[in-house]
Amino acid sequence: MLPTNAYATHGPKEKLVPFSFDRRDPRPHDVVIEIMYCGVCHSDLHQARDEWGGSIYPMVPGHEIVGRVTRVGQEVKKFKAGDLAGVGVLIDSCRKCKPCLDGLENYCVEGMTGTYNAYERDGKSLAQGGYSTQIVTDENYVLHVSEKLDLKAVAPLLCAGITTYSPLRYVGVGPGMKVGVIGLGGLGHMGLKFAVSFGAEVSLITTSASKEADARRLGAHHVVLSTDKAMMKKYDSYFDVLLNTLSANHSYTTYLKLLGLNGTMINVGLPTAAGEVQPFALLKNRRSIMGSGVGGIKETQEMLDYCAEKNIVADVEVIPMQQINEAYERMLKSDVRYRFVIDLKSLK
C-alpha cells in the first residue's frame, strides 16, 4: 500500500481537514502519479457539501490533476517513470458498452467511475481524488501532458477545459459562427478562449459590467450585459450557439431568446434547481437545448494536444492546500480569476 497525505471532508457541514489514507499498490496496468497541482472545481464544493445528494464520506475531492509518473505496473505501455501526466473527471468505466468502445467513456451505459466520491468497479473501494500527494490510476484513463505549458495552469484543463472544448467541437463551432458564452468563471473563461481560437465571433454574456475588461483581454469581440434590457433586445435572435456555464439558478428562457434560427444552447453549468423554459422560446427559430458532460479520454487528450499547440491554459490563482476552505468561500462569491489551483508541495 502507498501511504498518502490529503485533505478530506467527513460530512456535508464539515470543513476539509488533513487526512491520511493508503492508495493501492500498482496493478499491472496502473500508473502512480506524484500530484503536483490540482484544480478546484465548483463541483468539488457541490459534492463536498452534498448539494447534489449521494455524497460518500470521508471524501478527498479533486479531479483536475497534473503530476509526474513515479512508478508503472509491469504491463504499462503508454507511460514511464518521469513522464508528465494528468487525471481528469473519470478513472474507469465498463469498457464494453458502445460509448466506451467509441471513446466516450464519460457516457458509459453503466456509469463512469468518478475520480472521487464514487466506488471503483469492484463496488467497495472508495475512489479518492486529487487533493492528495499521489494517485494510482489505470493507464487507459491517464492523459499525456506537454512539457511546453505552465503545469499549474494546465490542471483546470482536465475538467473546465474539456467540459467546454467537447460541446463546442460537437456543434462545429468555427469561422463565421456567432457564439455567446454565458458567465465568466472557471468554465466560461475556458469556453471563451476555445471559441475564439476556433475562429468564431464570440460575445460574453454577463450580469457584471466589471467583467468587460477581462472578457476583451481573453478575446471576446462583444460584451452583452444581461441586466440591460435594451442590449439584450439588440442581440435577440443573434447567436448560433450559446455556451451556458452558469451554476447559479436562473431562467433559461432569458437566454434562449438570443438564439437565431436552429440555434443551440449548450448547458454545462449545474444549477441545483430546474431552469424555467417557456415552450414558445423554443418554438421560435427552432431553438434547442442540449447538455454535455466532460469528454472521453481520446477527446480529452486531443484537447490537451490542441492546447499545447495553441498555448491555451487556464487563468489561475495558486494556493497551498491549507487555504482550501477559504478558497471554497471565495469561490461562492466569484472571488477568483478564474480557477483556484492547489500546489501539492504544501502537503509534502
Q: Are residues 125 and 113 part of one domain?
A: yes
Same domain, 152 and 130: yes
- pLDDT given at position 11: 98
Residues 28 and 139 in one domain: yes
Residues with pLDDT less than 70, the chain? none
Of 298, 305, 296, the residue nearest 104 (C-alpha): 296
CATH of the domain at 42: 3.90.180.10
The set of cell numbers assigned to 90 is: 473519470
Question: Where does 179-261 have alpha helices with state H?
Answer: 186-197, 212-217, 229-234, 252-256
* Per-residue pLDDT tens over the stretch 36-53: 999 999 999 999 999 999
Phi-psi region of 12 (alpha: psi -120 to 50; beta: other; left: phi over 0): alpha
Whether residues 14 and 145 share a domain: the answer is yes
Residues 260 and 173 in one domain: yes
Same domain, 150 and 173: no
Residues 190 and 61 in one domain: no
DSSP bridge pairs for 181 = 204, 243
Q: Residues 337, 214: contact at Cβ < 8 Å? A: yes
How many residues are given for the chain? 348
The pTM for the full model equals 0.95
Contacts within 8 Å (CB) and 24+ apart, 82-86 = 83/144, 84/144, 84/145, 84/146, 84/147, 84/151, 85/31, 85/33, 85/142, 85/143, 85/144, 85/145, 86/142, 86/143, 86/144, 86/145, 86/154, 86/155, 86/157, 86/158, 86/304
Nearest to 198 by CA among 216, 218, 174, 229: 174
**Residue 186 maps to a domain:** yes
Residue 272 confidence (pLDDT): 78
Shared domain check, 37 and 146: yes
Distance of CA 168 to the CA centre of its chain: 14
Q: Answer yes or no: is 246 within a domain.
A: yes
**Whether residue 340 is found in the same domain as residue 231:** no
Q: Quote the pLDDT of residue 10.
A: 98
Domain that holds residue 154: 2-159+315-347
- pLDDT at site 308: 98
Q: What is the reported pLDDT for 348?
A: 78
pLDDT of residue 285: 97
Helix/strand/coil (H/E/C) assignment for every residue in 31-84: EEEEEEEEECCHHHHHHHCCCCCCCCCCECCCCCEEEEEEEECCCCCCCCCCCE
What are 174's three cell numbers? 468555427
Instruction: Give yes or no: residues 182 and 149 share one domain.
Output: no
Co-location of 210 and 244 in the same domain: yes
Statement to judge: residues 8 and 147 lie in one domain: yes
Q: What is the pLDDT of residue 270?
A: 86
Overall domain count for the chain: 2
pLDDT at 230: 97
CB atoms within 10 A of CB 113: 21
